[in-house]
Structure 1
Amino acid sequence: MLKDKNVLFIVRTMGLGGTENVVLQLCEILKNHVNKIVVCSSGGVHEVFLKENGIKHYTIPDIASKKPCDIVNCILNIKRIVKDEKINIIHSHHRMAAFYAQFINCNNIVKIASVHNTFFDKKILTRFAYKNTQIIPVGNVVSDNLKNFYGIDSTMIHIIHNSVKPFNGLQKHIRILNDARSSGKALVGNIGRLSEQKGMSYFIRAAQIVLQKHSNVVFFLVGEGKLKESLIQLAEEKGISKNIVFMGYRDDIQNVISQMDFVVLSSLWEGLPLTPIEAFSVGRTVIGTRVDGTPEIISDGINGYLVEPRNVKELASKICYLLEHQEIKQELEKNAMKTYLEKFSFERMSLKYLTFYQNF
């Protein structure tokens, strides 16, 4: 019975990121249906959430580290955790987490791996990592990648889309957004880690083009990351720093998005991104790049728009179009909310995970 099971989540960090948010969601979904949940990672800010919810966290070396000492320590630590906590189910959230799970030699332990992105490397390692493992890709593109590139048996693959909880509709005051709105500005956001993957530099370059036509727009980058200083410098070089605001990390993303006109997702690659789902859940449309799983969420011209990655002019053109066509934007917003409710609701995801876990 599921109520008797002890579940171990292995994830790279408990810091800021979409994968970490999925782990937190699963903790919430499963905590009243299993005996115990344990998480191991290299740590991060979300350890506080785990502690508040009575979920034990073990700190281990970075599972992506290639240092021999870290590799050995990861194997030994995970083996010890599995033994001490009497783990029945290991649920990995990184390819290397699944790799380490393979060193647990026990026929009674169920191995599950969530796959959050597409990859095109390390075939031998990946096939080993996912051997005798039930795999949960977050979308169709990720599933196809596993089957077509890595040759994973389709009977071991079970697609479950990501989701976010519904927004309660209560907007909390954010001064910087309220001030911009009060001064007659349009608010365009981009949510995500300030990393190469998220393509924030293309967002800033597109903003420069937009501002030549619409000077009353403020562009908000919500997130932290290694590229922050270079992005600040880019905005200064383009002469648009007054219209570019770095909001830093926020733990109220739906609240933030609900106070913006629309959102841009400028990613160069994705698995199944959370940002469009977060935007749709508060009735906001999204201009996203046509990469990987993003078109599974955004239907071009129906609930948002798709543009080619790195195409600054096309992105700028779509931003201008939404700024200039409010009635069309409102129709997209209506369909965005419909998409969330019908395909990506938290209730739908929760039911799918609980049904899946009941098999073990």
Structure 2
Amino acid sequence: MKHVLHIVESMGGGVLQYLLQVTRDLSNTRFHHTILYATRDVTPKKLDKLFPEHVNLVYLPMTNKINLINDWRSICDIYKWMKRRTPDIVHLHSSKAGFLGRIASVGISKRKVFYTPHGFSFLMNSENISKRAIYFLAEAVLSYFPGSFIACSKSEYQFSRYFNPFRRKYLVRNSIQLPSTPTAQRCRKRIVAVGRMDEQKNPQLFIRTIRKIRENQPDIEAFWIGDGKLREECVSLSRNIGAQVEFTGWLPHGKVMEYISSASIMLQTSRWEGLPFTMLEAFALGTPVVASDITAHRDIISDGIDGFLARDDVQFAEKSLGILTDTAIANRISEASMLTFQTNYHYGDFIRQLESIYES
């Protein structure tokens, strides 16, 4: 049995879902999983209850922000842990874990090291251009440290090719298990969004879009499912402009799927992404998606065919109204999105590819 060590600083959201799937469905007769993790505000309280019993969870302090002293301590702790426990495979998740883990892996021989950014940090367009340039340079330098790329999306794979040409690179697109049946009846005028309430997910754009849609369709229902540091600001904004968005906080996954499957539209307003699981869930359920026009969303959506891309609240509102007011458009997008999911995001392929890479 091979010991797989996962290192993750951002334990929550899509990275958490990725790890839940991998540790559950990669054969536990071949792989034993340990996760070194740090917590964020989006990390569930009872984390151990989510994972199978054969998964070993080890808390290790890591900070999201750059801090030379704390980062060096984390690198030393990771190095000591790997030296003592000798995992066969090390899989690093997110840019910060990739930074810490690749440095810590120097000098650790006979280890397969893999790195999945889940959205490169230099794509964070909420940061200024100089900081993003530093992040890009760091990725370029670290590509010569131990670690092959396992990209979770087509664009992430293309970006990885900018770096060390001698380093092996793999494309294993995120996927989810296809729900057997929709979990709730479709509501005619329900709009949802799912995610953390932070700069990346851009909930303010969702609120402004809902306000514009209400000018034409005042009786819509609008829900933001999730929580975060921008909640108070968003509640205030929604109240002040009359958007009437309901903020549900975090809900159990089954309940989230009910909201998505019952919605007329899901809006995805992120500024940057890896390959978002919530969009895959919407595609699997046939819920039409209008998403921000960023690289990661262009990986999934063919604009006007299986979803829509938008650049601002005006475009979001226009394309959402097209779906709400034209049943033919809504049905066409719904059918095309389900076909896209079934064709390109087969869950069995995702697991088999990852298993093959670990075994290779």
TM-score, length basis structure 2: 0.88
> Equivalent residue for 2:20?
24
Q: By how many angstroms is 1:67 displaced?
A: 3.6
> Equivalent residue for 1:142?
156
Distance in 2 (CA, whole Å) between partners of 1:155 and 1:321 is 46
> Equivalent residue for 2:78?
78
Contact 2:323 2:330 in 1 (8 A): yes
Aligned residues: 340
Q: By how many angstroms is 1:23 displaced?
A: 1.7
Distance in 1 (CA, whole Å) between partners of 2:2 and 2:52 is 21
Structure 2: segments with no counterpart, 5+ residues: 123-131
> Equivalent residue for 2:127?
none
Letter in 1 for 2:349: R
Distance in 1 (CA, whole Å) between partners of 2:69 and 2:167 is 36
Query: Secondary structure of 2:90's match?
Result: strand
Flag the 1:266–1:192 CA change in 2: closer, same or farther, 3 A.
same
Contact 1:222 1:247 in 2 (8 A): yes
Contact 2:184 2:261 in 1 (8 A): no
> Equivalent residue for 1:305?
308
Q: By how many angstroms is 1:210 displaced?
A: 0.9
Contact 1:7 1:34 in 2 (8 A): no
> Equivalent residue for 2:139?
126
Flag the 1:129–1:31 CA change in 2: closer, same or farther, 3 A.
farther
Distance in 1 (CA, whole Å) between partners of 2:31 and 2:99 is 25
Q: By how many angstroms is 1:33 displaced?
A: 4.8
* 1:337-360 Cα shifts (integer Å, max 9, x gaps): 11111101212211211122221x
Q: By how many angstroms is 1:68 displaced?
A: 4.3
Query: Secondary structure of 1:158's match?
Result: strand
Match of 1:259 among 242, 259, 262: 262
Contact 2:267 2:290 in 1 (8 A): yes
Q: By how many angstroms is 1:299 displaced?
A: 1.0
Alignment root-mean-square deviation, CA: 2.1
> Equivalent residue for 2:60?
60
Match of 1:106 among 93, 101, 108: 108
Structure 1: segments with no counterpart, 5+ residues: none
> Equivalent residue for 1:350?
351
Contact 2:98 2:117 in 1 (8 A): no
Distance in 2 (CA, whole Å) between partners of 1:84 and 1:115 is 26
Query: Secondary structure of 1:11's match?
Result: strand
Letter in 1 for 2:99: F
Q: By how many angstroms is 1:26 displaced?
A: 1.5
> Equivalent residue for 2:125?
none
Query: Secondary structure of 1:61's match?
Result: coil
Q: By how many angstroms is 1:172 displaced?
A: 6.7
Letter in 1 for 2:7: I
> Equivalent residue for 1:156?
168
> Equivalent residue for 1:36?
32
Flag the 1:202–1:21 CA change in 2: closer, same or farther, 3 A.
same
Q: By how many angstroms is 1:124 displaced?
A: 4.4
* 1:255-307 Cα shifts (integer Å, max 9, x gaps): 32111112111112222222221101112110111101111111111111111
Distance in 1 (CA, whole Å) between partners of 2:33 and 2:64 is 23
Distance in 1 (CA, whole Å) between partners of 2:166 and 2:155 is 13
Query: Secondary structure of 2:104's match?
Result: coil
Letter in 2 for 1:161: R
Contact 2:60 2:74 in 1 (8 A): yes
Letter in 2 for 1:37: H
* 1:191-229 Cα shifts (integer Å, max 9, x gaps): 111111112111111111111111110111011111111
Query: Is 2:3 aligned against 1:6?
Result: yes
